[in-house]
């Protein structure tokens, strides 16, 4: 390397103020192989892979590349029927707009609602007969905010029985609620009612909700319920909502009518909501909902996860699999922009970098196995809504154990000499000391999520495992040493753009990141205790799984 001129060196010194962290960091001995990481990213992000979109030949080519690597590392296949591939199908589900709703009041009076005017919504993806059609005639139960958070003063399901009934509810979030939990509660919904045995739900459009979103916009949003989901080995489309069949949203006028004559009517609801979410009673309404729906489900595409297994060394932990995951898919090609206009989304940072990291982790762990077995998974269809991980968490394909903990890597932004590390989710379980020790071993700082409003914890595959009750960590980088500006720049200019290309990555930084990710997985694979949620953790309480101190 050529020497810097004196002026250039002085200028560099003046600009790069916190040099200490950088010096410390680069003094570490490399663990992962930088050249392999770079060549793997360049291969996966090559135009030949056509942006690795689920269901395309480009994705399948990338999947073959990963499978070949797993094979050459001497790992065992962990896919279907002794292969490297776990195949699954995706369907597009839409709730056709000929859903019907009528309410039969306690006095026997019947009120018929008109789709699009009085209500929108429809059947959930798994609901209905083979043609997607179904009918429900069930009692209605008012459950207020529909929250099971007694610690925040909302225990909406206490004292009422929702089994086989329809939950009538109001959307709101307690003030000062942890933004991460609020985001989860907003994304969830159906599964809270499903857990209580409800068959359907009707959301009331309250005056408070109208202040946030007017009904016209709400109707358009909820009226176009189309989603993509996977089909299980049993042929049933996945919606994560158990026996719930439908979700409806009532107009402001319809909401008022539904609650008319009830002891706690729309005026009482509005007053409670306006008064900092004052508590609401939950009660049987004495009324019934008659609902019909007609789902449409169209086959969309077939894709795969690529899975390999490295057995562990300690028979006592043989059934506790560590899942090391990185999504392999990206968003493909956008056609029709002329010859010179590159609309091919190479996805170098997102997430060729993560897959390259995962393959280096596999090489190192194959060479020096941990006490626990490790499953390495290149996940499909992440960009379509975490679908490959959701499928894998529900269908791990293990006959001799279970998924015990997840270490996920997705789109580390590798453009500057980072000085700190974020371990999303690690502080929720007993893996935290292991993660912290790994980062400390590298002489770097572990810092809390600097950007909780972005909700990164919910936006990558670890969340699928968390929803299956599996403690998880998503390893990423912090804001130190210029990281905030560097991350903002990438997210603003290159994230999900054709310009997310291999040349943008600083491969020494990818190497440092991969070293740390490896140390995290190694420590978790070797830890003495069974991975478990901390007692009282929200996700442990919500999704189940082992809890520290409980057997």
Which residues contact Zn ion by CB under 5 A? 350
The minimum distance between CB 476 and Zn ion, in angstroms, equals 14
CB of 383 to Zn ion, least distance (A): 5
101 DSSP β-pair partners: 113, 291
**53/350 with CB nearer Zn ion:** 350
The token pair that represents 177 in the structure block: 């609620």
Q: Whose CA is closest to 84, among 68, 107, 100?
A: 68
> From the CB of 350, what's the least distance to Zn ion, in Å?
4
**307 close to 398: Cβ distance less than 8 angstroms:** no
Comparison of 404 and 414: residue with beta carbon closer to Zn ion: 414
> Nearer Cβ to Zn ion, position 350 or 537?
350
In 3-state terms the chain splits into helix, strand, coil percentages (rounded to 5) of 35, 25, 40
Q: Which two tokens stand for residue 544?
A: 């189940």
Minimum distance between the CB of residue 459 and Zn ion, rounded to whole angstroms? 9
CA-based nearest residue to 484, from 462, 504, 454: 454
Least Å from the CB of residue 501 to Zn ion: 14
Q: Least Å distance between CB 391 and Zn ion?
A: 18
Stretch (H or E) spanning 437: helix 432-441
Query: 148: which strand partners?
Result: 155
Within a 13 Å sphere around the CA of 50, how many CA atoms are in the beta-carbon half? 13
Q: Which helix (H) or strand (E) holds 297?
A: strand 283-310
CA 74 to mean position of chain CA atoms: 31
Report the residue closest to Zn ion, judged by CB. Answer: 350
Looking at the Cβ atoms of 165 and 392, the one nearer to Zn ion is: 392
Smallest separation, CB 424 to Zn ion (Å): 16
**Shortest Cβ distance from residue 516 to Zn ion (Å)?**
21
Residue placing its CB nearer to Zn ion in the complex, 239 or 350: 350
Residue entry with tokens 């001497």: 74
Location of structure tokens 């196995």: 369
- Helix, strand, or coil (residue 40): helix
d(CA 217, CA 232): 34
**Shortest Cβ distance from residue 328 to Zn ion (Å)?**
11
C-beta of 42 vs 494, nearer to Zn ion: 494
- Cβ closer to Zn ion: 350 or 501? 350
Beta-carbon contacts of 517 under 8 Å, excluding residues fewer than 6 positions away, are 357, 361, 407, 409, 475
| 412: helix, strand or coil | coil
d(CA 346, CA 352): 9
How near is the Cβ of 382 to Zn ion at its closest, in Å?
Answer: 7
Residue number, 245 or 350, with CB nearest to Zn ion: 350
Q: Considering beta carbons, is residue 113 or 422 the nearer one to Zn ion?
A: 422
CB of 190 to Zn ion, least distance (A): 25
The per-residue b/e assignment along 403-438, b for 16 or more CB within 10 angstroms, e otherwise, is bbbbbbbbbbbbbbbbbbbbbbbbbbbbbbebbbeb
- Closest to Zn ion by CB, 350 or 360: 350
In contact, 136 and 244? CB cutoff 8 Å: no
The conformational region for residue 28 under phi > 0 = left, psi -120 to 50 = alpha, else beta, is beta
* Neighbour count for residue 113 (Cβ, 10 Å): 23
Identity of the residue, 124 or 411, whose beta carbon is nearer to Zn ion in the bound complex = 411
């Amino acid at each position: 390397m050529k020497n810097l001129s004196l002026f250039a060196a002085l200028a560099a010194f003046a600009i790069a103020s916190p040099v200490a962290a950088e010096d410390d960091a680069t003094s570490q001995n490399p663990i992962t192989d930088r050249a392999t990481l770079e060549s793997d990213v360049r291969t996966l992000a090559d135009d030949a892979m056509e942006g690795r979109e689920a269901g395309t030949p480009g994705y399948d080519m990338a999947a073959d590349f990963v499978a070949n690597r797993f094979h050459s590392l001497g790992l065992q296949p962990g896919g279907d029927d002794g292969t490297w591939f776990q195949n699954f199908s995706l369907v597009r589900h839409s709730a056709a707009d000929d859903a019907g709703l009528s309410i039969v009041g306690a006095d026997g009076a019947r009120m018929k609602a008109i789709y699009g005017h009085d209500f929108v919504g429809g059947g959930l993806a798994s609901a209905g007969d083979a043609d997607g059609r179904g009918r429900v005639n069930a009692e209605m139960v008012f459950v207020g905010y529909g929250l099971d958070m007694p610690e925040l003063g909302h225990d909406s399901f206490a004292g009422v029985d929702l089994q086989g009934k329809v939950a009538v509810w109001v959307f709101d979030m307690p003030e000062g609620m942890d933004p991460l939990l609020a985001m989860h509660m907003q994304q969830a919904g159906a599964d809270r009612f499903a857990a209580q045995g409800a068959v359907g739900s009707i959301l009331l459009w309250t005056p408070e909700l109208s202040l946030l979103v007017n009904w016209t916009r709400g109707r358009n949003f909820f009226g176009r319920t189309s989603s993509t989901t996977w089909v299980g080995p049993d042929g049933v489309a996945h919606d994560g909502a158990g026996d719930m069949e439908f979700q409806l949203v009532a107009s402001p006028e319809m909401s008022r009518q539904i609650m008319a004559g009830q002891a706690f009517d729309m005026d009482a609801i509005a007053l409670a909501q306006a008064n900092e979410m004052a508590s609401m009673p939950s009660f049987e309404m004495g009324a019934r909902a008659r609902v019909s729906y007609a789902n449409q489900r169209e086959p969309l595409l077939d894709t795969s996860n690529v899975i390999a297994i490295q057995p562990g060394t300690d028979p006592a932990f043989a059934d506790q699999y560590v899942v090391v995951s990185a999504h392999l898919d990206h968003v493909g090609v956008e056609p029709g922009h002329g010859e010179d206009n590159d609309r091919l989304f190479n996805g170098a940072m997102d997430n060729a970098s993560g897959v390259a990291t995962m393959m280096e982790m596999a090489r190192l762990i194959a060479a020096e196995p941990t006490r626990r077995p490790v499953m390495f998974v290149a996940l499909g269809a992440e960009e379509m809504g975490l679908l490959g991980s959701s499928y894998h968490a529900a269908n791990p394909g293990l006959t001799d154990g279970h998924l015990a903990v997840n270490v996920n890597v997705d789109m580390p932004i590798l453009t500057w000499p980072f000085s700190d590390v974020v371990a999303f989710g690690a502080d929720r379980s007993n893996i935290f000391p292991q993660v912290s020790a790994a980062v400390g071993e590298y002489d770097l700082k572990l810092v809390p999520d600097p950007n909780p409003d972005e909700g990164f914890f919910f936006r990558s595959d670890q969340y699928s495992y968390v929803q299956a009750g599996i403690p998880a960590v998503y390893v990423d980088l912090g804001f130190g040493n210029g990281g905030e500006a560097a991350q903002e720049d990438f997210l603003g200019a290159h994230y999900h753009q054709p310009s997310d290309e291999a040349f943008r990555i600083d491969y020494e930084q990818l190497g440092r990141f991969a070293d740390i990710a490896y140390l995290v997985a190694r420590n978790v694979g070797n830890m003495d205790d069974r991975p478990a949620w901390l007692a009282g953790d929200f996700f442990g309480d919500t999704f189940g799984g082992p809890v520290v101190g409980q057997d």
